[in-house]
Amino acid sequence: MATALIILAAGQGTRMNSDLPKVLHQIAGAPLLHHAMRSGAMVEPERMVVVAGHGADEVTKAAKAFDEAVDVVIQAEQKGTAHAVLQALPALEGFEGKVIVLYGDTPLIRPETLEAMLSARSDVVVLGFEAADPGRYGRLVVHLGHLYRIIEYKDATAEERKITLCNSGVICADAKALAKLVRGVGNNNASGEYYLTDIIAAGRVAGLTAEVVTCPEAETLGVNSRADLAAAEAAMQARLRAEVMENGVTLTAPETVFLSWDTVIGRDTVVGPHVVFGPETTVESEAEILPFCHLEGCHISRGARVGPFARLRPGAELAEDVHVGNFVEVKNSILDEGVKVGHLTYLGDAHVGEHTNIGAGTITCNYDGVSKHRTEIGARAFIGSDTMLVAPVTIGDGAMTASGSVITDDVPENTLAVARARQVNKLGLAAKLFELFKSRKEKKQEKAQ
């Protein structure tokens, strides 16, 4: 059956204490909103509608960045969850099938959970969970497998507050039934809001059935504060780490490795402690990431060895068996097969040919204060330690640069470039200088007394 998705994302998120709309705060390298949209997208909805309000411009941009085809509707004033769903109805005009309502601030709902809701038989299906501490959640009144109504905490009696089966906020219902029920919701309650939860009791009066599908409480975690955001990050990281390990990746100390939602790591790759994967990073099989690396927007090929303490920035592409060692930064550069860049180096806007060795302390001087320039280094070249490559510059295949050179002109292939002052040895002068300096110091000290 066809499905559609409504994602509520109009709320202010006051407790975040932030200028950024709540749903745009990130976990695992993507905004909360994208996580909700992604798990919703897994059930292959025919339409997706995001309800924006606070920070609508930014939220719209983010929603469109996820999927250009998504509809964004504006809820100018936040009058409650039913009122929010009401705003989405025109965008679902003509749609027949099931509608799932998700919250943009609830990033951990699994697609499997949504599938279970879609398979349930009742007209309205609510995602519930057994709460360790039910707090201010809406309570689910269930009898013999049927859901009778949802009572908001504020409106519940002391007896009703004892119920521990709570409302996650995720609801799935037939599109036509949902539209009809939502239009009928009033705001005669403790907060004066239009509660989406009221459609259960109203549905029963209209002869519709309702039931609860449950999931672990961890999935329903909604973000209202920075502390919640950190908890959501932790839960998402735990999930992502488990996934990569299942795929055959060794994480020596999984709790210290941070992954992005889109991190891909191949089988038999070993990732040491304290490695951070930013967005858009892929690592092939049998690579080795040593401790304390920061990797983002980069690709690491089979058999490559990176770190410890390496930083790969967007556009860094390491071919097979490349070695990038400690305190090396690589940005927007392609390193061909077998390149070695062992220590203390910056490679930016460069191409390094296969099996070239880059000596310690090499820097591509790629920026002149206004524009970026490229450095081309050929294959089987040897860049001496502490070479400054002032771009734009080209080093030919098999060429060498002498240590400490400042290379401003192209170096033809198989050529040695020496670009530093010639050394002069002055015999005995060091000893004389030591004497001179010592006597000066003594005179100063005598004066001071």
Q: Binding residues for Ca ion, per CB under 5 A?
A: 222
CB of 99 to ligand UD1, least distance (A): 15
CB of 201 to ligand UD1, least distance (A): 12
Contact between 221 and 127 under an 8 Å Cβ cutoff? The reply is: no
Q: In the complex with ligand UD1, which residue's Cβ is closer, 84 or 400?
A: 84
For ligand UD1, the binding residues (CB under 6 A) are 8-11, 51, 53, 75, 78-81, 83-84, 103-105, 137-138, 150, 152, 166-169, 195-197, 222
From Ca ion, ligand UD1, none, interface partner of 78 (C-beta below 5 to 8 A by class): ligand UD1
From Ca ion, ligand UD1, none, interface partner of 75 (C-beta below 5 to 8 A by class): ligand UD1
CB of 280 to ligand UD1, least distance (A): 27
**Cβ atoms within 10 A of the Cβ of 180, count?**
16
Tell me the C-alpha distance between 81 and 364, whole Å.
Answer: 55
Tell me the C-alpha distance between 183 and 112, whole Å.
Answer: 30
Tell me the C-alpha distance between 221 and 110, whole Å.
Answer: 12
Cβ-closest position to Ca ion: 222
Q: Which two tokens stand for residue 77?
A: 């004033």
Told to judge if 373 belongs to the known catalytic residues of this protein, a careful annotator would answer no
CB of 240 to ligand UD1, least distance (A): 23
From Ca ion, ligand UD1, none, interface partner of 195 (C-beta below 5 to 8 A by class): ligand UD1
Q: In the complex with ligand UD1, which residue's Cβ is closer, 196 or 395?
A: 196
Q: In the complex with ligand UD1, which residue's Cβ is closer, 71 or 410?
A: 71
From Ca ion, ligand UD1, none, interface partner of 39 (C-beta below 5 to 8 A by class): none
CB of 316 to ligand UD1, least distance (A): 37
Contact between 382 and 359 under an 8 Å Cβ cutoff? The reply is: yes
Residues in Cβ contact with 249 at an 8 Å cutoff, skipping those fewer than 6 apart: 265, 266, 267, 268, 269, 270, 271
Q: In the complex with ligand UD1, which residue's Cβ is closer, 51 or 319?
A: 51
- Alpha carbon of residue 142 to chain centroid: 38
Using the Cα atoms of residue 177, residue 179, residue 183 and residue 186 in order, give the sign of their dihedral.
Answer: positive
Residue of 343, 351, 355, 373 with catalytic role? 343
CB of 238 to ligand UD1, least distance (A): 21
Q: In the complex with Ca ion, which residue's Cβ is closer, 165 or 319?
A: 165
Contact between 321 and 334 under an 8 Å Cβ cutoff? The reply is: no
Q: In the complex with Ca ion, which residue's Cβ is closer, 222 or 412?
A: 222
Q: Which residues belong to the active site?
A: 343
